[in-house]
Chains A and B, each alone.
Chain A
Amino acid sequence: MTIKISRIPNRPAAVVAVILFAVATITYWDASQMTVQATYGMSASAASYFVALLFAVLALGHIVSAFRPDEDESEAEGADWKAVGWIALALAGLIAAIWFGGGFILGSTLLFAFTARAFGRKALLKDICLGAVMSVLIFLLFNKLLTLALPLGPLERLF
């Protein structure tokens, strides 16, 4: 298999084609499961079938472009996956904090500090402090002064 795949000149396009086919199938399947029919005119499934068809056509288009070698080769540059990983961690921290009731301040502090780390800052502890101060200020401004409902955790209840 691997040899075969490496022979495809534009691999990303091939991957996208597979994803598009998958989405088209899911959409088609979802539409076929719909039970409520419109009494007059078109049902809700019509748009789903249309989008599924569109996806299928686009998938074919991507397959064609995957086998066309002269597609622009600008994607030579790599990506700093470590930095992306840090941001992923930052976002995961935010979600976890809110999911498990840690509250807005904790979540935002983690988000801030880890994102700063992703951009090459090494002073993690300092950034945590900075993020915490900023989050507290935002929380006080928006939640207390402007009565915006932000997720509450143990820290927020102190105020």
Chain B
Amino acid sequence: MDSLLYLFHGFSTAIEPANLIYAAVGVIIGTAVGVLPGIGPALTVALLLPVTFKLDPGGSIIMFAGIYYGGMYGGSTTAILLNTPGESASVVTALEGNKMARSGRGGPALATAAIGSFVAALIATIGLALLAPILVKIAVRFGPWDYFGLMLIAFVTVSATFGSSPLRGLTSLAFGLWLGLMGIDQLTGQARLTFGVPELLDGVEVTTLAVGLFAIGEALFVASRHLYKPEKPIPVKGSVWMTKEDWGRSWKPWLRGTIIGFPIGALPAGGAEIPTFLSYNIERKLSRKPEEFGTGAIEGVAGPEAANNASAAGTLVPLLTLGLPTSATAAVMLAGFQQYNIQPGPLLFVQHADLVWGLVASLFIANVMLLVLNLPLVGLWVRLLAIPLPWLYAGILVFASMGTVAANPSVVELLLLVAFGAVGFLMRKFDYPIAPAVVGLILGPLADSALRRSLQMSLGDPMILLQHPSSAVMIAVAVIALVAPFVFRGLSRFQQDED
């Protein structure tokens, strides 16, 4: 139980007044930068990391934790209020969250995201403290065949984001898959669909697609309708706080999101996106008001946001035990840790237990601080929507393009961004759902390489996918999830016929 002792010690350091101030400052500047459209949590933390260098190690790590949580929260704020997710994991949050904001319920959406993130991070951090060494042993057993099974499940659940027409949903998904082909194939070095443009050899950046389709597409679409249906900034209806009903509809999604997010985040190639898709789908299935999905269901914000944050804590498992960053934000965290001489790896928990638990305590404190500071600010953030439309959208475009140019200073990247913006506009105009395209781009290459690695290891025998019990189970789940709705529909029709 040495670990608890270390944790306790970490807490006693973290709640010193000076450190609490560092945590508060970290949360505030993290949120302030993270809230800019097109700038996701990873970029936020990366940009602000140097700010912490000037402090002593203890204060620095606490401020870093504050920036991390502030950036995460700021990212979902723009997704909800402005429909411009700064990273792929908040794409799902934007789906319902923005619909809520548009109907004047931005306050509760932000609140459920904040509290859900808090709950998820709290539980997942406890999970990290207790389970990390065991989880990582299971996680590395996850072979390519298992990843393929997981991808199949994820693909099936994407259909939840299709909206009214499966044909249009599939087309959007196929567009994402097609973009996912572009670039050098990792396994063989073969270039696909690059048409001799060297800048395309590295493939299409998910952030570029997400920002192009959402932020720029949205601006074009709103402008095109401005004359006919001028969109007035929506007044916040009722309270900015969550009602009793909101609480009742939120707490279960928070817990479910956590349960989905943490273990998948702990997988070496799990990431944060897949848990958000899965959570969204599950909440839609389990909701008592499924008809609200697509028009602003609070469960659709609560679940994915919790899953996102739980998986972020989950990514700390391979990060701390293997030194393996599995998501954008984790990569940034790694850089941060190295700054504090925490060298992640198998020996970390043994050799530097005090540092690890000090970090965990800092994350805890920052998490609490975020909630304390940001819940009162929800009302203020909602005011963002009161900025006159011309300036609001002009600002969104400036920040969105800045984020892209900063990540890769090439004109080709900018051209891609604008092209995706045009596509996003047309997709909105002709009622094609946007999210499946982003999902396709994320999942396509993962599924492709997982399947091909499996077949390479089995020398081409497809049975390898079914020989491993874990992958066989996941593939079965995917098939059942795909087929079951048709079967049930058939059954109910059959029963109706009998009546």
Contacts and interface: CB of A to CB of B under 8 A. Distances in A.
B456 A40 contact: yes
B405 A98 contact: yes
Nearest to A114: B394
A9 interface: no
B431 interface: yes
B181 A91 contact: no
Interface string A31-63: 100111110111111111001001100100110
Contacts of A116: 390-391, 393-394
B205 interface: no
Interface string A129-156: 0110011001000100011111100000
Given A38-B456, A41-B456, A95-B414, 9 more contacts: A34-B190, A46-B452, A48-B193, A75-B429, A79-B225, A84-B425, A86-B223, A87-B397, A151-B405
B482 interface: no
B188 interface: yes
B171 interface: yes
B430 interface: yes
A61 B409 CA distance: 40
Given A36-B189, A40-B456, A91-B421, A61 B414 contact: no
Interface in B199-234: 216, 219-220, 222-229
B415 interface: yes
Nearest to A147: B50
A94 B401 contact: yes
A84 B224 contact: yes
B50 to A, nearest CB: 7
Contact of B395 (A42, A44, A51, A112): A112
A119 B192 contact: no
Interface of A: 12, 16, 20, 23, 26-27, 30-31, 34-38, 40-48, 51, 54-55, 58, 61-62, 65, 74-75, 77-81, 83-84, 86-87, 90-91, 94-95, 98-99, 104, 107-108, 111-113, 115-121, 127, 130-131, 134-135, 138, 142, 146-151
A104 B223 CA distance: 24
Contacts of A77: 225, 228-229
Contacts of B451: 42
Given A95-B414, A108-B398, A61 B167 contact: yes
Given A84-B425, A108-B398, A119-B223, A48 B181 contact: yes
A55 B178 contact: yes
A80 B224 contact: yes
Interface string B388-410: 01110111011101100110010
A112 B398 contact: yes
Contacts of B295: none
A6 B409 CA distance: 45
A27 B193 contact: yes
B394 A35 contact: no
Q: Closest 8 CB pairs between A and B?
A: A41-B455, A119-B390, A44-B185, A116-B390, A115-B394, A83-B223, A79-B224, A44-B190
